[in-house]
């Protein structure tokens, strides 16, 4: 028994798969001023649609809706079935505040209350 699938059927299956990824993903990648939808995300990379996204490279920002997840240095790894896969050379998680340059004990007081003397 063979598992031959005609080219037109394979293209229709790939288009339906990409459409499913597009509908359920809130992820997007920002390159300069442009945003492109991300189809899938995994630990060391992500994929985008081949036809709607230009060839990406270098430093990009990864978003989930309006919330920035990370800043990544990427390189294209492979193209297959209508999607291009990119691998992270570096991925730095985004923070909502600046990092501290000193150690802060977990049980340190939040503030200092001074006593008022009249």
- pLDDT reported for residue 21: 56
Asked if residue 57 has pLDDT above 70, the reply is: yes
**In-domain check, residue 48:** yes
Domain with 72 in it: 7-93
Q: Is residue 25 part of a domain?
A: yes
Reported as a single tens digit per residue, the pLDDT across 89-101 is: 998 888 877 777 8
Tell whether 60 is covered by a domain. Answer: yes
Predicted confidence (pLDDT) at residue 2 exceeds the cutoff of 80? no
> For residue 68, how many other CB atoms are within 10 A of its CB?
15
Question: Which residue, 4, 5, 46, is CA-closest to 25?
Answer: 46
The total domain count for the chain is 1
Per-residue pLDDT reduced to its tens digit, 63-107: 988 888 899 999 988 888 788 999 999 988 888 777 778 888 888
Sign of CA dihedral 22, 23, 24, 25: positive
Query: Per-residue pLDDT tens for 6-56?
Result: 777 777 776 666 666 555 668 899 988 899 988 888 889 999 888 888 888
| CATH number, domain with residue 73 | 2.40.10.430
| 116 lies in some domain | no
Q: Is residue 106 part of a domain?
A: no
């Amino acid at each position: 028994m063979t598992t031959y699938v005609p080219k037109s059927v394979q293209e229709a299956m790939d288009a339906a798969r990409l459409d499913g990824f597009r509908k359920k993903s809130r992820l997007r990648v920002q390159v300069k001023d442009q945003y492109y939808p991300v189809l899938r995300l995994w630990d060391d990379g992500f994929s985008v649609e081949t036809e709607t996204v230009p060839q990406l490279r270098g430093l990009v920002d990864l978003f989930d809706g309006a919330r920035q997840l990370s800043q990544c240095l990427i390189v294209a790894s492979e193209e297959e079935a209508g999607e291009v896969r990119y691998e992270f050379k570096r991925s730095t998680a985004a923070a909502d505040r600046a990092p501290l340059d000193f150690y802060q004990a977990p049980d340190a007081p939040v503030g200092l209350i001074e006593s008022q003397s009249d």
